[in-house]
Chains A and B, each alone.
Chain A
Amino acid sequence: MKRQSDDQVLTTLMQAAQAGDVQAYVRLLKEITPRLRQIVRRQRFFVSAEDIEDLVQDILLSLHAVRASYDPQRPFMPWLMAITRNRLVDGARRYSRRVAHEVQVENMPVTFSDEGSNIDSDGYRDPEALRQAIENLSPAQRAAIEMLKLREMSLKEAAAAGGTSIGALKVSVHRAMATLRRALIKES
């Protein structure tokens, strides 16, 4: 009985909304949103809360876009449920397409919550300290860092440009990186 009178209220609100009554429209949308959320959650229990909210919003936008197709002589809820069912099917199709193109990966220690992964990136956040640390390197190490890390030259190109061997460059850059790491950690 209560449900029937609720539906009657919604029908009246929708009729007013079609006539351009903003207050009635807001009330209608606020009344149906929890219901829609409940329906979507029940039928799509496997999707995230964010996806459920997206689907609810899609249904609200659809209602708005096709509100002229509501016949004011008929009850509102069957009309809304037809749109809801249709949008859920449409949403499921989009969801399965998206999942099919997603690559699932394990959580890698590259996030900010992982302390160990942030040492280097945190150290490099002070460009002045980094510049100073590079200045303090020996000339051979500084040249190796400049060519290989800053100018992104290949080992072969850097060896040719610096008039040294690839092996010597590798040693220089390795030592330079160790020196920089120590200097920047001490700095922070």
Chain B
Amino acid sequence: MTMDTEKLIERLAEVVEPVRPLARPWIRTAAWLLIAIPYIALVVFVVSPRADLISKASEWRYVIEQVAALATGITAATAALATVIPGYDRKFLFLPALPLAIWLGSLGDGCVEDWIRFGPDGLSLQPDWSCFPAIVLVGAVPAIVMAVMLRRGAPLTPHVTSALGGLAAAGLGNFGLRLFHSQDASLMVLVWQVGTVFILAAMAAWAGQYLLNWRSTVGTARRRVLIR
């Protein structure tokens, strides 16, 4: 940058326009859900819900796992949206910890129960590669919308923000998956479904440096100032 700072201030003033302040993270999360939930409902409807969905809704373990997966997605979204606000409270980062612990705890408890009930056969692991593309399909639109929303804020912690955003979309993806995919064996869910959720969150964390960075955030302002 070779421009004089006084000159830069004048140029910034020339290009300044009114902006609407970003809403609080939980309000933005609600806006995100307004797009994500109808999309997931549409995917479940198109793929067709599992035949035993009504009876599953009365099984406490299934309900706990679904509520925990949904809550993990929602709290991760709130945390991600909080991390793009300069000066945010770091307690937000721990928001998804409780539902995630409940989700994993319930699945772990299911594994132990299967072991007690069926012995080693209760923990048999078969390949279920369909989980990955299915969660990607269900989580795609929530992920895209989340990325757009995150880019409106400040890229303070690109990897953490992206990981939380990825966890949010994948968590919702898994919630949607279990509405049409009849796989409830705890170990299978833990390895193939939750494993996919973590892989997608890790991939999102890696992509954070490209999705959220100061160069692209400041780039537009810099170009407008320089070409004026």
Residue numbers of A with Cβ under 8 A of B are 17-20, 22, 25-26, 29-30, 33, 53-54, 56-58, 60-62, 64-72, 74, 78-83, 86-87, 90
Contacts and interface: CB of A to CB of B under 8 A. Distances in A.
Main secondary structure of the interface of A (DSSP, over half): helix
Given A18-B21, A70-B21, A82-B87, A25 B156 contact: no
Interface string B70-96: 000000000000001111100000000
10 contacts: A56-B5, A57-B1, A69-B152, A70-B21, A79-B86, A81-B87, A82-B88, A82-B154, A86-B86, A86-B154
B225 A61 contact: yes
Interface in B57-72: none
Given A18-B18, A68-B19, A82-B86, A62 B217 contact: yes
B21 A68 contact: yes
A21 B160 CA distance: 34
- Nearest 9 CB-CB pairings of A with B: A20-B18, A82-B86, A66-B154, A82-B87, A68-B19, A78-B87, A29-B9, A65-B221, A26-B13
B138 to A, nearest CB: 29
Contacts of A58: 1, 214, 218
Contacts of B12: 25, 29, 60-61, 64
Contacts of B222: 61
B16 interface: yes
